[in-house]
Structure 1
Amino acid sequence: MAEPEAAPQQQADASQAMTSLQPWQQRGLWYQALARFVGLAESDYFYLQAESDTPGCWQLALYSDDHGLQAKSLSNYYSCALGPTPPAPPAQWQQCFQRLTAHLPKCRQLQLEPVSATELSLLQDAQIPGWGLLAVPISQNWQASTADYWSKRSSQLRHTIARKKKKLDQLGATISISTVISEPLQQHYWQVYQRSWKPAEPTPDFINQLLQQASSQGTLRLGVLYIAEQPVAVQCWLVAGGVAAIYKLAQDQQFDALSPGTVLTAAMADYVMAQDQVHTLDFLTGDDAYKAQWMDSCSPLYRVTAFRLNNPIALLQFTVLRLKTRLQQLRSKL
């Protein structure tokens, strides 16, 4: 979807607005890398955005099937959040759906994920004319305020960190936290990742692109814990807009008993609080039990499907799925 060129003052305002966006929501670059990863050409997807006094403040990238009947957000398991930052008011969401139907006149279904609880509420408040929304929880997001962060952590966690750190210090362990990627650091990242419990990445291309992009933008915080110069734990954090997002963690399974990842997480948290002055730590997606020890609160993430109600097929699908959802909710209550 072509966009008019912004005036100089508008471009400056947009540039300033972009500095507050999370690294995974940067205009264009994130979507371009993700599109290449999933095999989409630039002509295969388009941007959905509302009119604004600060053009480029936010975008959603969508792609559709061959017939233009369905559209989906350009997202997958690498996507941590979907939607504008700050959240778009209902009026802007209405504009977005108007642009969607103008771009894809035959579109009868739109799927967005992952959508935060805040964004879902705004979408529902928008009451998009002619569209029905269904939301299904698909994951969770854990966050913590950095105000009095360590005093809010359990004594068990604090004691575990101190005990494990002492053992690692006795082994001569060191921690490096870098803001700029290098070839050796990238090799250390993959060396640990391949020896961890993590499933193999489908391809390293997206992560390598992310490391390079975050490095060039100044948002990268790459932590590595070494024992005898051997990397045994790595963490990729992304920092922007006062938020430190914990994106990728890995630990060499041979050293699990020493908990190097736990000690590295504590060091990374101290670093971003002291050096970057962040106000929030964000564990992004996933409901792993250990995250509750490090974070304050948890909120759901949703898959939102919008059905165009003036289309008989879409109306039938919406009606049936809404009925199934309500029955499931009733059964869970009973």
Structure 2
Amino acid sequence: MPDADVTQRPQAGQTLPVENKQVHSQWPVGAKPDDHSAMPWFQPAPWYQHLARFMGMTDSQCYMLGADQPGDSAAEWQLALYCSAGGRQINSLSNYYSPALGPKAPALPGDWLQLFETVGKTYPAIQRLQLQPLTAGQQQQLQQLQVPGWGFFFSHCSDNWTARAENYWQQRPSQLRNTIRRKRQKLVADGAHIDISQLATPELVAAYWQVYQHSWKPAEPNPDFINALLDLASHNHSLRLGVLWLQGRPVAAQCWLVADGVAAIYKLAQDQTFDHYSPGTVLTAALLDHVIEVDQVHTIDFLTGNDHYKAQWMDNMTPLYQLQAYRLNQPAALLQFALLRLKARIRQWKQRIVAVARTR
């Protein structure tokens, strides 16, 4: 697919301070966090520290929950959580900025059981534990799990789009390939070039924000978090920051994260003034070529959101789920769980009635 004028820059950056709070296994300041994650390209512990800070949470609200003993097999999992309602509700530290449950979600049934046991013992007044997003595999694993004293309610919260890097372009629609070819030729003729960097330089970061401010997207909820993420990704070598320039002006910008053979498309923006050039489409193609040929990834991940345009770039869509787990020994939680299940059952009955009515 289209070649690009790609500028590779050297690695640079300073180590970010790490301060972790973990139930049962306290880490000292500066300790190296678990580099595993819920997704292959990982959201390390500092990711959640930045997220908590920019969400305005205090240290007493947030913590890392892991195993009872560092040597346990369950030490392979670690979750960032936060408390609310005086410890009666605990939630995974996740929002639109964190497309995975992490830093590393439990993988084995025993690990999930230990999670619920630890939460119950640490917070005896807890009424609800909410975790999201869960992959389809995690949802199925939890659905089959019998956890004494807990009631589970699952709901669909988003979707995840992925594609295999092998023979990637052969799998894409001919209309998309032809569009990229035509738009690239026009951009090159008018003096465009592309930078792809592993370093968040001041020039490229400024270019990203300039494009974002002139895009169709709403105002960024927390620009400080994005800037911190760019610095973090520069330091851990996962950043691929792409900018398409046209006659000296940035007109498209994208932030990708690459690790463990997976390229995640995290943020993208296009200057509306130049929509007729489709610079975002051309930049996406250039970054795809880069991560496939240079980074040699095996998977492209468009992360969360069921945006219709993702279908032409990706192969598969899988659902993501939210879990609301209620502590059934708490009367208020038991009532909430019963009402939630009743409402779900009523919706199912209504859907069946409508379906039957349509067949008549």
Q: TM-score, normalised by structure 2?
A: 0.85
Paired amino acid for 1:48: L
Q: Of 216, 239, 242, which aligns to 1:197?
A: 216
Q: Is the 8 A contact 2:38 2:101 kept in 1?
A: no
Aligned runs of 1:1-334 on 2, under 5 Å? 1-4=22-25, 18=36, 22-26=40-44, 28-50=45-67, 53=72, 57-83=76-102, 85=104, 88-333=107-352, 334=355
Paired amino acid for 1:326: R
Corresponding residue SS for 1:247: strand
C-alpha offsets along residues 239-293 of structure 1, whole Å, 9 cap, x if unaligned? 1111100000000000111100001101101100111111110011111000000
Q: Distance in 2 between matches of 1:163 and 1:286?
A: 28
What's the offset of the Cα at 1:191? 0.4
Q: Distance in 2 between matches of 1:217 and 1:54?
A: 26
Q: Distance in 2 between matches of 1:90 and 1:238?
A: 30
Q: Is the 8 A contact 1:90 1:125 kept in 2?
A: no
User: Please, which moves more after superposition, 256-265 or 65-74?
Assistant: 65-74
User: Please, which moves more after superposition, 47-56 or 129-138?
Assistant: 47-56
Q: Is the 8 A contact 1:20 1:241 kept in 2?
A: no
Paired amino acid for 1:291: K
Q: Distance in 2 between matches of 1:283 and 1:130?
A: 37
Call closer, same or farther: CA 1:314–1:94 in 2, change over 3 Å: same
What's the offset of the Cα at 1:211? 0.1
Q: Distance in 1 between matches of 2:290 and 2:76?
A: 29
Paired amino acid for 1:286: G
What's the offset of the Cα at 1:3? 4.4
Corresponding residue SS for 1:210: helix
Paired amino acid for 1:198: K
What's the offset of the Cα at 1:85? 4.9
Using the aligned pairs only, state the percent identity: 53
What's the offset of the Cα at 1:329? 2.9
Q: Distance in 2 between matches of 1:58 and 1:221?
A: 27
Paired amino acid for 2:300: L
What's the offset of the Cα at 1:57? 3.8
Q: Is the 8 A contact 1:245 1:282 kept in 2?
A: yes
Q: Is the 8 A contact 2:25 2:66 kept in 1?
A: no
Q: TM-score, normalised by structure 1?
A: 0.92
How many residues are aligned here?
327
Q: Distance in 2 between matches of 1:229 and 1:313?
A: 61
- RMSD, matched Cα: 2.2
Q: Distance in 2 between matches of 1:102 and 1:163?
A: 62
Q: Is the 8 A contact 1:22 1:85 kept in 2?
A: no
Paired amino acid for 2:48: Y
What's the offset of the Cα at 1:21? 5.6
Paired amino acid for 1:25: Q
Q: Distance in 1 between matches of 2:144 and 2:64?
A: 22
Paired amino acid for 2:165: T
Q: Distance in 2 between matches of 1:256 and 1:54?
A: 52
Corresponding residue SS for 1:201: coil
Q: Is the 8 A contact 1:83 1:119 kept in 2?
A: no
Call closer, same or farther: CA 1:324–1:270 in 2, change over 3 Å: same
Corresponding residue SS for 2:280: helix
C-alpha offsets along residues 164-199 of structure 1, whole Å, 9 cap, x if unaligned? 111111111101100011111110010000000111
What's the offset of the Cα at 1:87? 5.3
What's the offset of the Cα at 1:67? 2.1
Corresponding residue SS for 1:301: strand
Paired amino acid for 1:30: W
Q: Which one has a larger percent helix, Structure 1 or Structure 2?
A: 1
Paired amino acid for 2:285: A
C-alpha offsets along residues 74-133 of structure 1, whole Å, 9 cap, x if unaligned? 111111111465751111000011111121110010111222111111222222221111
Structure 1 stretches lacking a partner, 5+ long:
none
Q: Distance in 2 between matches of 1:77 and 1:150?
A: 29
